[in-house]
A and B are shown apart, each in its own frame.
Chain A
Amino acid sequence: MPDAHHLLFRTLADPTRRAIFERLCREGELTVGALTARAGVSQPAVSKHLGVLRQAGLVRDRHEGRQTHYSAQLGALAPLIDWTSHIVGFWQSRFDHLEDLLKRIDQWANL
């Protein structure tokens, strides 16, 4: 698996981090304070998770006065979606081959 995928998967493998990302997807731009209110972990922990998400390109920050606002970058998920559809595509083609084989077995039986 390429490094970009690895980084993305590692980043989203953490349930707390994924929950933060999901909230940003659902609710749009939020501050660290707003995210901490329902994250179940401390503000420094949330900040650390946001830093990791930002490194993976999954969130963007915007400074406004003393507040930093974070928003989800859905485009960064493209490699995950591509990779999943690649696996699905592999198995779809194997299913096609399997069906072909099952038809051929019938023909062998009729010989």
Chain B
Amino acid sequence: MGKPVTETLSVVVEREIPHPPEKIWRALTQPHLIEEWLMKNDFQPVVGHRFDLRADWGAVGCQVLAVEPNKVLSYTWAAYGLESVVTWTLTPTSTGTHLRMEQSGFRPDQQQAYQGAKGGWPRFLAALEQVLARID
């Protein structure tokens, strides 16, 4: 996306899943299946497609950024005035798939993203964890 990511706060969730990437890909990209585990939607695996994820508490506005079948799926995720990007990465393993979800771009101040930076949020949080561990 060409933007510096140094000022980005991101959340990563990863899991080993005992199913092949092709099957997980279906669950990530077919609307009736997405609805089963995430939210109601009008998703299409087409770059540039805009869609909504709808829940009782409101809707998330999304746009597809990247589609690499069985490998990478990325879309924007706008909710509560926060712009972020959700990226799914599927890596085949001997027992199934390593599934990784990264939600990044929680930038409270967009302009800060364009300033030169010394270390980003992830490094900051890592450093913080070390500090907190020492205190315990």
Contact = CB atoms under 8 A, between A and B. Distances in A.
Nearest to A7: B108
A13 B108 contact: yes
B115 interface: yes
A84 B108 CA distance: 14
Interface stretch (B40-48, B66-74, B123-131): B123-131
Interface in A4-49: 6, 9-10, 12-15, 18-19, 22, 25-26
B107 interface: yes
Contact of A84 (B11, B37, B99, B135): B11
Interface residues of A, number: 30
A9 B106 contact: yes
Contacts of A10: 108-109
Contacts of B116: 15
Contact of A98 (B37, B107, B112, B128): B37
B13 interface: yes
Contact of B132 (A18, A26, A74, A95): A74
A15 B127 contact: no
Contacts of A99: 15, 17
A40 to B, nearest CB: 9
Q: Which residue among A15, A25, A97, A98 has the maximum number of chain B CB atoms within 10 Å of its CB? A: A98
A15 B107 contact: no
A102 interface: yes
Interface string B94-113: 00000101010011110010
Nearest to A2: B80
Contacts of B132: 74
A91 B99 contact: no
A105 B23 contact: yes
Interface string B4-30: 001101010101010100011011000
Contacts of A102: 17, 19, 23-24, 27
A86 to B, nearest CB: 10
5 contacts: A9-B108, A25-B127, A95-B15, A97-B36, A105-B23
